[in-house]
Structure 1
C-alpha cells in the first residue's frame, strides 16, 4: 500500500472535507477525491460516506485508521533517526483544549514554545466538548477530567482555581454582595445547562443556582459578558489578569479547584517529537498557571 495514499486517507479522515484536507496536503480538492477513489478501488472497499456534513469513515475506513496512524508514526520516527529533523521541534502539532484554556492560557504558552522552535507549527483547537483522539482530531488534548476508557495515556498537569467575579462597574450599579445568599438578587452568567459536556464544569450547581440569565457554551463569551458588566459568573483565576476592571466576589466564601490533564493516544508515545513537545508543554503550562494565579495574591 502506497504511503502517500495513506497520507491522503488520514487527512480526509481528520478534516472530513476535501477542501480542508487539500489545504493541509497542499493539493487540489479534486485531486484528493481522485486519490481516495483510487485507494478505495485498489482495496476493493468503501472507506468514506459522503453527506451534507462532509466525509465520514465507514466501518472499513475506521478499521484502516489505526493502521494508517501506526504507519504515520513509523515514518515520523524513521525521519528523525535518519537525521531529517532539525535539533529543534518541527512539523505540525495539533492540540485540543477546552476554550477557557485555549483562550487565556495556551496562546502565550504556545507562542513561547514556537519562538524557541521556529520550524514548529502548532494548531490550537478550542471546542466545548471532549476530543476523540482515536479519530485523530488532535495529536494531544488538554482535559478537565481524566478519561477512564480508551487507549489513552493521561498525565495530570496542574490544579487551577476559579472564583465568582464581576466588573467593578456592574458591582457599583447593583446591590452589595456580602454573602452567598445575595447572589440570587443578581444576573448570573454561566454555561447553558444542557450543553455542559463535563461535570467538572457544572460550577453553579455548587452554589445552588439554577437560573442562568445569560448563558453560552463558550467560556470566552461568558467572560466577555462579565467584562462588559452584564452580570456575574464563575471565572478562571488565570483569565482575570487579561482584563482590567474585574473583581473577585466573596473569595473567602466560594472557591473552586479543578485540574488540567494532558491526554494522548498510547500509540503516540513511540513518537519522540510528540514526547518532547508534550514534556515542554506540560512544564510551560504549570509555569504560566503559577505566574497568572500569583498575580491575584
Structure 2
C-alpha cells in the first residue's frame, strides 16, 4: 500500500463494508471512495472487495491486507501514544463494546468513575445485541459472556454474576416453579440469541416466551409491566418494583470476560484502562448483587 492515506481509506471501507457508511469516517463522498478503492485494486493487480448491492465484502486477499493494515495502524497509534508520555496519562478516546445488560446497568457507573479520575479520557460504550468484532476495530476492547475461541485476542475473566427469576413484588406469590404456569414469561427472542450462555429457557423449563426482546433493558421493563423472567441480579436495583423469587429452585451463574486485540498488549494506556474497567466491574457487580439480595421477596 503506497501511503497512509490509502491505508486509511481501505480500512474504513473494510470495517464499514460499504462506501456510504465509510464516507463520514474518511470525509469523502462515496463516489470518491469508490474511485480510490478501484485505483488501489488496480495498483495491486487484484480485487480486495466483492462488490454487491449489499455492500463491499473482503476477498481473501482483502482480509489479509486488512489485518496487516490494522497492525500498522496500531503501531502508528502506539508511537503517537509513546511520544505523548505513554502510560503516564490516560487520555484520548476508548470505546468498549458490550451486551446491553452490561452497557445499561454496569458500564455507565464504571466509565463515569474512570473518566472523573481522568478528565482527558473520552469513554464510549458500544451496546450491541451481538458479539463486537475487534478485528474490524469496532471497539478497543469488549465485554463478552463467552470466551472467544478464535482470533488473535487477549481474553481474561472479569467476574461471575448471578441470575434469578424475578417478578413484581405485588404479584401473587409463588412457592414452586409450577405456581408460575399461566403467567407470561419474558425472555430473549429465540432466533436472536447470539450466545448460548444467554439461552435461559431450558433452566426455566418453559416451552417459549410470551413477551420477548433482544434487549435486556426492554425485558426488564416487560417484567415490570406484567410477567416473570430470568434477570441479572445486578439489574434489579434499577427496578424497585421487582423481587427475586424461588432463589432456592432456580439460580444461574454466568461469567464476564474482557477481550482485547493482541496488539493492545503493547499499549500501556489500553492495559491501564482494561485493568480499571475490570476492577470497576467486579466492584459494581458485587455492590448491586448485594442490594438485590437485601430486597428478596419473603418466603411464604
1:134 is paired with a residue whose SS is coil
Alignment-derived partner of residue 45 in structure 2: 44
Q: Distance in 2 between matches of 1:277 and 1:20?
A: 29
Pairs within 5 Å for 1:226-265:
226-229=223-226, 231-265=227-261
Cα offset for 1:85? 6.3
Q: Say which is worse superposed, 61-70 or 99-108, in terms of deviation.
A: 99-108
Is 1:278 the equivalent of 2:274?
A: yes
2:250 is paired with a residue whose SS is coil
Residue deviations 1:160-198 (CA, integer Å, cap 9, x gap): 1111111235x1xxx431111212231111112233222
Of 201, 210, 224 in structure 1, the residue corresponding to residue 221 of structure 2 is 224
1:149 is paired with a residue whose SS is coil
Which aligned runs of 4 or more in structure 1 are off by greater than 4 angstroms? 26-31, 84-87
Q: Say which is worse superposed, 284-293 or 122-131, in terms of deviation.
A: 122-131
Cα offset for 1:117? 3.0
1:288 to 1:74, Cα distance in 2 relative to 1, 3 A: same
Alignment root-mean-square deviation, CA: 2.2
CA contact (8 A) 1:188 1:213 kept: yes
CA contact (8 A) 1:73 1:270 kept: no
1:66 to 1:35, Cα distance in 2 relative to 1, 3 A: same
Alignment-derived partner of residue 65 in structure 1: 66
1:273 to 1:40, Cα distance in 2 relative to 1, 3 A: farther
CA contact (8 A) 2:87 2:268 kept: no
Contiguous gaps of at least 5 residues in structure 2: 295-300
2:264 is paired with a residue whose SS is helix
Alignment-derived partner of residue 203 in structure 2: 206
Alignment-derived partner of residue 297 in structure 2: none
Q: Distance in 2 between matches of 1:200 and 1:241?
A: 23
Alignment-derived partner of residue 118 in structure 1: 119
Count, aligned residues: 292
Pairs within 5 Å for 1:284-295:
284-295=280-291
CA contact (8 A) 1:76 1:271 kept: no
Contiguous gaps of at least 5 residues in structure 1: none
Pairs within 5 Å for 1:135-150:
135-150=136-151
Alignment-derived partner of residue 182 in structure 1: 179
Q: Distance in 2 between matches of 1:271 and 1:219?
A: 33
1:18 to 1:112, Cα distance in 2 relative to 1, 3 A: farther
Residue deviations 1:242-276 (CA, integer Å, cap 9, x gap): 12311111223322111100112223222332222
1:289 to 1:118, Cα distance in 2 relative to 1, 3 A: same
Using the size of structure 2 for normalisation, the TM-score is 0.88
Q: Distance in 2 between matches of 1:22 and 1:84?
A: 32
Q: Distance in 2 between matches of 1:288 and 1:218?
A: 21
Using the size of structure 1 for normalisation, the TM-score is 0.89
Alignment-derived partner of residue 127 in structure 1: 128
Q: Distance in 1 between matches of 2:55 and 2:42?
A: 20
1:273 to 1:19, Cα distance in 2 relative to 1, 3 A: farther
Cα offset for 1:111? 2.4
Q: Say which is worse superposed, 278-287 or 244-253, in terms of deviation.
A: 244-253
Q: Distance in 1 between matches of 2:208 and 2:161?
A: 26
Cα offset for 1:86? 9.0
Pairs within 5 Å for 1:34-113:
34-83=35-84, 87-113=88-114
